[in-house]
Amino acid sequence: MRLIKATVVIAIVLLAGLAVAGENSLGVSNLYRVNFSQNVRVADTLLPSGDYEIRHVMEGANHIMVFRQVGVKKAVEIRAKCTLVPLPEKATETQKVYELNAANERVLHELIFKGDTSKHVF
Q: Chunk the chain into consecutive blocks of 10 residues (it has 122) and report each block's average pLDDT, rounded to whole numbers.
A: 45 36 67 97 96 96 97 96 96 97 97 96 96
**61 in any annotated domain:** yes
**37 in any annotated domain:** yes
Calculate the alpha carbon distances from 57 to 13, 71, 76, 91, 95 in Å. 25, 22, 18, 20, 20
In angstroms, how far is CA 2 from the centroid of its own chain? 42
Per DSSP, the three-state class of 12 is helix
**57 in any annotated domain:** yes
Give the pLDDT of residue 33: 97
Give the pLDDT of residue 27: 80
Nearest-10 Cα torsion for 110, 34, 22, 81? -40
**31 in any annotated domain:** yes
Contacts of 118 (CB under 8 A, 6+ apart): 26, 27, 28, 84, 85, 86, 87
**48 in any annotated domain:** yes
Query: Are the beta carbons of 41 and 48 closer than 8 angstroms?
Result: no
Give the pLDDT of residue 26: 73
